[in-house]
Amino acid sequence: MADAADGRFVPALDITLTLLEGDRELFTTTMPFLWHPCLYHYGTNARVPGEGPYTVRGRIGPPTWMGHDPVNGRRYEQPVDVVFEDRPFKPGRKPSPDAQPRGADSSYAG
């Protein structure tokens, strides 16, 4: 999550996503903070029952910390709710473009 005012990553958020098929709630999951050397982000893996469309409901709770000054520090006081309706999903794994077989018959020199 990036701050719309300055583009910086916003840490320590409480993010929850709910997946719906029509009016039926399929599951709710938290989106934990994930540290990666090149990119901080929030996310998790989830098992989707089949191809969509699905509705995704998201809630971002206010952080437990306050920003650096009385004006800008209060930008995140209220929770944010978003809804993405009729989004297509295609279950499966996205193959890594750099994935190479390893073993005796491989030219991998790593």
Q: 48-95: per-residue pLDDT in tens?
A: 888 989 999 999 998 877 777 777 767 778 899 999 999 998 877 767
pLDDT for position 104:
58
What local confidence, expressed as pLDDT, does residue 79 receive? 92
| Residue 8: band (very low, low, confident or very high) from pLDDT cuts 50, 70, 90 | confident
Backbone angles phi and psi of 105, in degrees to 5 = -90, 10
The greatest distance separating any two alpha carbons of the chain, rounded to the nearest whole angstrom, comes to 62
Q: How confident is the model at residue 108 (pLDDT cuts 50, 70, 90)?
A: very low
Residue (of 31, 49, 51) closest to 41 by Cα position: 31
Give the pair of three-digit tokens for residue 37.
Answer: 């050397």
- pLDDT score, position 99: 62
> Tell me, what DSSP letter sits at residue 20?
E
Average pLDDT on 22-40 reads: 90
Question: How far apart (Å, rounded) are the C-alpha atoms in residues 6 and 19?
Answer: 30
In percent, how much of the chain has pLDDT > 90?
35
| HEC per residue, 26-76 | EEEEECCEECCCCCCEECCCCCCCCCCCEEEEEEEECCCCCCCCCCHHHCC
Average pLDDT over residues 42-53: 88
Q: Could you tell me which of 8, 67, 65, 74 has the C-alpha nearest to residue 40?
A: 8
